[in-house]
């Protein structure tokens, strides 16, 4: 590794979630710009995996030296899918993640809608995170509950939402150690974080 390479910190992010959960919008939020097509559709918008790489020079200082952050975000088609074979999507995602990330994904962002019930199919998503990251997947996964603005409009506050959530979702929230984020309405394709 030469000195130029040492000044770059890589962060590989893999987005996963069911149809229309807000995966692409989340990717845009992470990148801070509109890179992925994010739109309402009765069909799948993202049909194949797409990598976006962005470098943020001087992002942090370590031992008196400035480091750039190189963010690689892989947007993926919906999984599990109700439109095409979920097994095929799973194979595509795993193959694309292997191609995109030489050192593997560092963080898997699981995007679920806060305003629709957590159902048993969602466990397939968790299983995929585990297949990709291995047994320590919980330590390297972030759960994003999108469409929190709808929950907010229904005047359900964060704590109450968590109390009302089915046991399976509560177990997931407890097991994902990197924390949960609630997101509000997209603005210009990006979103803002709100506190639960």
Ligand X SMILES: Nc1nc2c(ncn2[C@@H]2O[C@H](COP(=O)(O)OP(=O)(O)OP(=O)(O)O)[C@@H](O)[C@H]2O)c(=O)[nH]1
185 binds ligand X (CB under 6 A): yes
Give residues with Cβ within 8 angstroms of 67, minimum separation 6: 7, 8, 9, 58, 59, 60, 61
Q: How far apart are the first and last CA of the chain?
A: 42
Give the Å distances, CA to CA, from 22 to 11, 96, 149, 163, 190: 21, 20, 13, 23, 10
Instruction: Tell me whether residue 42 or residue 135 sits nearer to ligand X (CB atom).
Output: 42
Total of residues contacting ligand X (CB under 6 A): 24
Least spacing, CB of residue 78 vs Mg ion, in Å:
7
24 binds Mg ion (CB under 5 A): yes
Q: β-strand 180-183 against 107-113: which pairing, if any? A: unpaired
Site for ligand X in 117-176 (CB under 6 A): 146-149
Instruction: Tell me whether residue 170 or residue 185 sits nearer to ligand X (CB atom).
Output: 185
The binding track of 81-120 with respect to ligand X, each residue x by CB under 6 A or -, is ----------------------------------------
Cα(106)–Cα(136) distance, rounded to whole angstroms? Answer: 12
Cα(49)–Cα(78) distance, rounded to whole angstroms? Answer: 10
| Residue 118 and residue 169 in contact, taking contact as beta carbons nearer than 8 Å | yes
Site for ligand X in 12-51 (CB under 6 A): 17, 19-25, 38-41, 44-46
21: partner contacted, choices Mg ion, ligand X, none (Cβ within 5-8 A by kind):
ligand X
Q: Dihedral sign, CA of 146, 151, 152, 158?
A: negative
186: partner contacted, choices ligand X, Mg ion, none (Cβ within 5-8 A by kind):
ligand X
Residues that bind ligand X (CB under 6 A): 17, 19-25, 38-41, 44-46, 78, 146-149, 183, 185-186, 191
């Amino acid at each position: 590794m030469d000195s130029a390479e040492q000044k770059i910190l890589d962060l590989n992010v893999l987005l996963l979630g069911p149809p229309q959960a807000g995966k692409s919008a989340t990717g845009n939020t992470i990148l801070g710009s509109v890179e992925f097509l994010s739109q309402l559709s009765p069909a799948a918008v993202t049909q194949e995996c797409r990598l976006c790489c962005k470098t943020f020079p001087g992002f942090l200082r370590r031992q008196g030296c400035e480091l750039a952050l190189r963010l690689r975000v892989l947007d993926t088609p919906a999984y599990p899918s109700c439109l095409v074979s979920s097994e095929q999507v799973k194979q595509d995602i795993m193959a694309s993640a292997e191609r995109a990330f030489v050192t593997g994904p560092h963080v898997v962002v699981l995007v679920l809608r806060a305003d629709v019930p957590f159902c048993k199919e969602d466990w397939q998503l968790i299983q995929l995170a585990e297949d990709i990251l291995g047994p320590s997947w919980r330590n390297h996964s972030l759960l994003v509950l999108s469409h929190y603005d709808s929950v907010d409009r229904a005047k359900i506050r964060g704590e109450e939402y968590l109390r009302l959530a089915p046991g399976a979702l509560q177990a997931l929230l407890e097991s994902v150690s990197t924390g949960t984020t609630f997101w509000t309405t997209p603005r210009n394709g990006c979103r803002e974080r709100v506190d639960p």
